[in-house]
Structure formats: C-alpha cells, structure tokens
Structure 1
Amino acid sequence: MAYSSSSASGFGLEFSTSELTGALGDSVTVLPLIVALAATTSVSLPHVLVGFGVFQIVWGLYYGMPLSVEPMKALIGLAIVGSLSYPELAAAGLLAGGVLIVVGRLGFLGALQRVIGEPVIRGVQFAVALLLLEAAVGLSAGNLPVAVAGLAIVGLLAAVGYRHSSVLLVLGLGGVAALVTAGVPTPCVPELALFPAGTPTLSVGALEGTVAQLGMTVGNAAIATALLCGDLYDRDISPDALSSSMGVTCLAAIPIGGVPMCHGSGGLAGKYAFGARTGGANVLLGVGYLALALVATGALLAAFPLAVLAVLLVVVALELARAAFEPVRGHRSLAVVLGVGAVGLAVNVGVAFVLGAVAFWLLSRRE
C-alpha cells in the first residue's frame, strides 16, 4: 500500500513500505555517531534529533528526492575522541556552514567539478564505502554473534526477494532488545533554547577541524553526492546547490542545539539500497527522528545493540562501492579510484580528494 503526491518541483512524494525501509538506510550512518557523541560530550541528544528530523523533512520536500542528511563526520569524530568540546564543535560547524554558503553562491564547486576528473570523485565514493565497512567491523566487534545473525537474516531475505524488508526486521529486533534492557522511557519535549548545550567557542582546534571537514565535504557531500544523484536517481543537482543547502542546515540547526550536518553519498546510497525513491522517505525519517527525540534517553540508545547497525552499514557500503566502480573504464581510471579509496581509508577523505585531483591532473598532462 502506498500514498503518492506531487512535489512543487514536479517530483513525486510516495509513502510506502519501500520508502520507509529506504529511510532507515540513512539512519544507520547517523545513529551510531550521534549516540557516541552524546556519550562523550555535553551535547543534548534530543535537540540533535530534532535538528535531523526537521532538515530531513525540509530537504526531502525541497529536492523531491531522498537526499541524505548526515553528521559532518570529521568534526563529529574529533569531538567523540575528545579533541573538540561541544562548544568548539558548534563553532566549527557555524564556520563551515558560512563557508559552504559562500562557495555555493559563487558557483565555486561547479567550476571545480569540471576540472576534477570523474575517477577522483568515484574514488571518494569508494573511500566512503571503505570507511563504512571499517565502522561496521568496529560496531560488530562488541557482539559478533548478533552481527553474524543479522547478516544471515539480511542475506536470507534478500535471496527470497525481500531485501528492503530486512532492514525493518533487523532494526525492529534491535529496538525490542533495547526496550527489554532499558525499559520504556517517559516522553519528554526538548526545551526550546538558544545554544542549550553551550555557547560556541572558536579555538585553534576548531579551525583545524573545520579545514579538515571542508576538504571531506567538498569531495564527498557535494561533488560525489551530486554525481550519485545522477547515477541513482537521474537527477541533475549541482554541487553548489548542495553546498548552499548544507550551509543553511548548519547555520539554522546549531543554534537550537544541533550538530554540523551535511549531505553525503553514503546516506544517499543507503536510502537507495533499501528502496527509497522519493522525498517521502525523508518525511518518514524526519517524523521518526522527531518522535525519537521525545524518548531519547541515554539509557535507551546505549542499550541498542550497535552490531545490528553494523549489518546495515555493510549493505550501504556495498551499494556505494557498486555505484563507484560500475561506470569506471580503463586501467588508469581504475588505479585512481583505488588509490583515492586507499588514501581516504588510511588518512582522510579530504586529503585523498586533493591528492587524487593532483594525480589525475598529472596523468592527464601525459596524454
């Protein structure tokens, strides 16, 4: 059963089981990071979920497709390991948001995309796939039997034609386990306040984190995601438009207690892998995040078996890797894709993007 309507941009909104399972394909790249962030910083998890909920809905309606909304992984990672406090994270996110709006309005990324070779962008997609697989291994290490059982369930359902439904079953089992462990929480509306988790504080660490994040954002969240929109959904969305919408998201969400957010090829591939085809997936996921914000106690989310999310990360990573390699032609292009992917995994995606662009330019001059 599905309900469909038309968006203002002429692209349909559908509310169906496939859109619901596809929506959850994006959440597996979000929930592990924000749960870890809530456990290690002063961030308010309900406020973070409100930010994700609102902007899932906003960009799903605006673009009319299941565009991803994810945490800015470089900055969130630095905060999780203790290199940035939440106030420093908030300052870095506001700074990154301002830069993204400026470069988007100036058309900088569209010009950069025309210069950067497609194999470099495909390499960024592959790097993100490898990072997702690495994250899946880390999440499953704490409960390997659960991860193996989850993979078996997904594989079995996929073999009989129910791959999209597998995400509902696996996440449902994880949710039941969390409720049994932590109990049913009492709903509570998050307090409306300006910077509820701390006033932004600009520091040297925040500036360094912003630079690292922008390198990753340009390569993955803007250019690679724009390319994937065409690959998977036959949509021509410019990286400058994505840059501007990411900037708006950061500048609007962080003052109400959110975290730096971006679009991303991993989340987009996740939605596609699990069946999302319209902006209806964003609306469903946004409503789900807002509902979760009412009951998001640390005890409940800490009780959720993260090995379950690891299973779904594997599926997302495989879909993203497939999209990265499918159009690649020629040994030289393949070498660039593999090289960028390896550097992205070993160092970070921003460095891999820059080195890949230089390598591709040098190789092109030899032709």
Structure 2
Amino acid sequence: MGDAALEVRVRKSYPALTLEVEASIPHGITAVFGPSGSGKTTLLNSIAGLVAPDEGSIVLGGRTLFASPGRVDLRPEGRRVGYMFQESLLFPHRSVWQNILFGYDLTPPRQRRISPRRLVRLLGLEALLDRRPANLSTGEAQRVALARALATSPELLLLDEPLASLDLSLRGRILRYLKDVYRELGIPMLYVSHNISEVLAIADRALVISRGRQLAFDHPRKVLLNPFVHSLVEAGSLENLLDVTVSGRRPGDSLVGAALGDSTLWIPAVPPHVVDGDVVSVAIRAGDIIVAVDRPHGISARNILEGRIQSVHRIGGAVMLYADVGAPLLVEITPEALESLDLREGQDVFLVIKSNSIMVLD
C-alpha cells in the first residue's frame, strides 16, 4: 500500500447516481470536494461501514475493511473510524465530559491511544465539561463532537461538512482546531466540503467528485485550476483563510497589528480576550486585493505588502495569481489588469488590502 493511509476502490449504484472512486489517500488532511448530491457523503458512509458498496475494496492502514471478492465487510464499530457529522448529535442527557467519555469507554483498552483529558486540553473544553449540550453554542457543540469522535482513538477521522452549521465568524477557529489535531495526534482526515476556500485553507490534497465520478485528485491549488472546479466557485466568493499572530496595538488606533509570514497586517479589532501572541484567523477575499507594480503613495489603505508572484493562471474569464508575502496569498484580477500591468511569474509586486475588507474569524 506504500505511503497511503487509505486505499479506496468502490462502486455504489443508486437510481439517480452511481458513485465510482479509486484513490490512494495519503496521511494528512484530504478534502473531498464537489457540488451537493455528488456522492461525497456516500463515499464517507461507505468507508465508515454505514453503506455497503456494490463492489470494490477499502483498506485502512493495511487492514481490509471491505472487499467484495472475499465478502469482507467489517461492522462500523470494528473499523476504528471516527465520524463527525454536520450536526453535533451529542447525547442531550449527558454532560460534555460524559459525551466525551462515551466514545472512550466503548474503545477496547488495548486500542486506547488518546486520553480524554488530552482532548479537553487540545480543544479548549476545560470550562465546558459540566454543561449539557443545550447550554452550548453551535461552535462549542462541534468541538465536543470532535472530541467524542477522537476519544475512540480512530485510525481515520471522517468530517462531513463540519462547518456547514456554523456562523461565518467561527469557521477559522474550527479549522485551526482541526489542523492542531492533525499536528498533535497525526490522525489522517477526510474532510468533505463544497467550499473551495476551506479546501485551500486546510487540505494537503483534494479529491473532486461530481455526479458520482472522480474528476481530480491533486494538491488543492492545482485542483482550483481545473475548469470544472472553478465553474463551481461563485463569483467573488474565493477567500484567503489565514492564521495570523496578534503583534500589538497602537494607542488611539482601532486596528490591530498581526504577523502574516514576514509581513505585518493591520486588521479590525479582535475580541477582548485576544492578547498579543495569540493566533486568530482572518478572511480576505481574493478579489479585494489590489496589485501594484510600484509602491503606492497617498492612499488610505493601511496594508501595502511586498510580495513576489509565484504563478499566474487564466481560467475562463478570470485570472488567478499566487503571490508570496512570507505566506501565499491568492489574488483574483481581470485579464485586462494582467495585460496592462504585464504581470508575470517571479515579478515583485505590492499587494494593497483595505483593513475593513479583512474579516476576523474568531
């Protein structure tokens, strides 16, 4: 199986859809991207053992979970796969701590690798342990659901659009928690989304599915350049979802300095509990970034970042470019701007971003 964490080769037919996927999923976070009704959830349910494929095989870490030739079909509880759904689905009569312990207690002692206390610390749940689900915010409930799924010490974590029910302002925090979970626990993840900005922010690889068919499996940046994928992106919706480190406030200034790579970004006010050194997430629309070949003077925009163009791509009637400002930024411009500025790979440019176009996601 090489370096793959998961080998999937499945076919499942329904009256309105036939799912066919064949992929070697590496360690890391892999996004499953596609429009609604494309078969993304069916794929996850097949891996989890909630749906039996018509034919094929599923191998996780060298263990065969499903194989049609040998009639192997492990029960869901024997697959060691964690599953986080769109809704938290917590037990309403149990406290947060009891919800987390539920998954842990169901796991055979020899398979327990992750302690509940470690999950509480990692996901910042210390103050919530005695609460019932009815007294949790949507974001808090999702973190508890994540802890419960991880408490089973899974070898794979499935996430079915975990941000779909969250307010926009909570997306960045949950994405950060997921990245922290992978860094600390090393559990491979399959992350379903129909939001390409989320995919670009979190995933190491992206599997694109449409009408049950696998269309692409590559690095998220390359997947975005697929004409079909780009056709699914609503005009003006592409965002840079970035983690920045708060670096200070200036007296009398409503803006806050934040480190983005080697650059300082001036962002709107952060929540009162955020102090210097804390990491927050921000969203910057790709179309709100202005490109200049010379340093602008006499403008009101507070952010003028020096960068270098890494790549330029024409997709339909749009132009996407990546610029390195110490961290990569995705910029969307018109073909006319590309021609008039004569932009090319390797060129040094200035990126202009108005502070009020930056949304703090914490």
| Same fold, judged at TM 0.5 (above) | no
Between 1 and 2, higher relative CO (CA 8 Å, sep ≥ 6) is seen in 1
For the pair shown, which has the larger CA radius of gyration, 1 or 2? Answer: 2
The structure that is strand-richer by fraction is: 2
With normalisation by structure 1, the TM-score equals 0.22
With normalisation by structure 2, the TM-score equals 0.22
